[in-house]
Amino acid sequence: MEGSRLRIADCGLRHFSMSWPALLALTPASSEHRPQPSPPCPMSAYPLFDAHPRLAALPRAGIFQTPTAVRALPGYDGAWVKRDDLSNSEFGGNKIRKLDLLLGEAQAQRRRCLLAFGYSGSNFVAASAWHGRRLGLDTIGLLLPQAGAPYVADNLATCAAAGAELALGQSSAGLVSQALARSLRRLATQGRWPYWMPPGGSTPLGALGFVNAAYELRAQIEAGLCPEPERITVAFSSMGTVAGLAIGLALAGLRSRVVAVQVVSTQFATPAKLDRLIAQTQALLRRYDPAIPTRAAAVEIRTEFYGQDYAVPTAATTAAMQAFQQASGARGDSAYSGKALAGYYADLQRGLPGPSLYWHTFNAERRPRGVSPLPPERLRGYLLGDRC
């Protein structure tokens, strides 16, 4: 197999398109560039909860370092970036806002274990494992194969360092039966059913993290840190980020609309599913405070930047990631931020009226400090599923 390209028949990984030597060569030796977290800021971390005090009954884990910075993006007039990659100095990105509420609920319910679904390189599974471990919760990660990309190895190393129990399946149905079997085992050994989280943590509760994020942006606009954007561009996958932002922008009285760049198959993220998640999130808000109106900002879903497959970059993805890294110093990824950036830069180049804001969702760090890359044979084991 040396030097050959893996195909379906080789290992059963449907989407795997990178040769093994290439993937293993990407396993990083060190993390040279360590961006700093956002500077301390007197703004509240929970402006949504300040505005609607009845929501205070919702437990939160307190794992994010917000507000995240908002900065001008050099190269274009009126281009701005919201740096959610700096939402936590160990493992940041957009998942932290959802996990803050999900882990808060898991703690309040006295669960001992989290159960998270995702692709092999899932940012969500890795962030759950890392932050769960910090809070004394184990993680079971149930993974589906995906195209190779550098961040896959980094996230698997993070999961392993956090002691996550990982299993690779070949279909969603297979994963669910694995999840049931492993949950029953935890029930028997720990006396508690694990806290199940869907891919990306996009439950109505998770989405509230992004309703709060929109209030955070409003506070930054009011403080003169950035102008009110005409449009906010962000990756669209398990939909919790877009659903939360759409609701939060409208409730916070901002006129921005959301440009949601599709980064997963249209089988998973659709306008109808987004509408459902928005309605469920609004219903959750109104359960706590019936005076909260059912408003949501307009969302424009853009599918033309997806390309061939999940996490497989197009030429525009690669060019946008490079331009963004040069302009901001922040890294991107081929699955989410690279495709959202391709959409963002395309709109800037078309000269659409601004100001506009790109919401950066990828984790700034390759791996948390002190986490080493996995040895090649262990990485191969995770990717080929011989740990199931």
Enumerate binding residues for ligand PLP (CB under 6 A).
93-94, 123-124, 200, 202, 235-242, 336-337, 361-362
- Strands annotated E in 237-382: 257-262, 299-302, 356-360
The number of residues in the chain equals 388
CB of 94 to ligand PLP, least distance (A): 5
Contact between residue 379 and residue 121 where contact means Cβ atoms under 8 Å apart: no
Residue partners of 284: CB distance under 8 A and separation at least 6? 204, 205, 208
- Strands annotated E in 257-370: 257-262, 299-302, 356-360
Contact between residue 161 and residue 136 where contact means Cβ atoms under 8 Å apart: no
Quote the CA–CA distance of 290 and 214 in Å, as a whole number: 20
Pick 311 or 348: Cβ nearer ligand PLP: 311
Quote the CA–CA distance of 15 and 311 in Å, as a whole number: 9
CB of 243 to ligand PLP, least distance (A): 8
Count CA within 13 A, CB hemisphere, residue 174: 11
- Return the closest-CA partner of residue 309 out of 17, 9, 84, 77: 17
Contact between residue 64 and residue 97 where contact means Cβ atoms under 8 Å apart: yes
At 356, phi and psi to the nearest 5? -135, 155
Pick 11 or 301: Cβ nearer ligand PLP: 301
Count CA within 13 A, CB hemisphere, residue 175: 23
CB of 196 to ligand PLP, least distance (A): 17
DSSP state of 200: G
Tokens of 272: 């109808």
Pick 55 or 261: Cβ nearer ligand PLP: 261
Quote the CA–CA distance of 154 and 123 in Å, as a whole number: 10
Residue partners of 36: CB distance under 8 A and separation at least 6? 86, 89
Pick 316 or 384: Cβ nearer ligand PLP: 316
Q: What is the dihedral of CA 304, 308, 310, 312, to 10 degrees?
A: -110
- Return the closest-CA partner of residue 366 out of 164, 66, 98, 157: 157
Pick 258 or 371: Cβ nearer ligand PLP: 258
CB of 190 to ligand PLP, least distance (A): 28
Quote the CA–CA distance of 324 and 75 in Å, as a whole number: 10
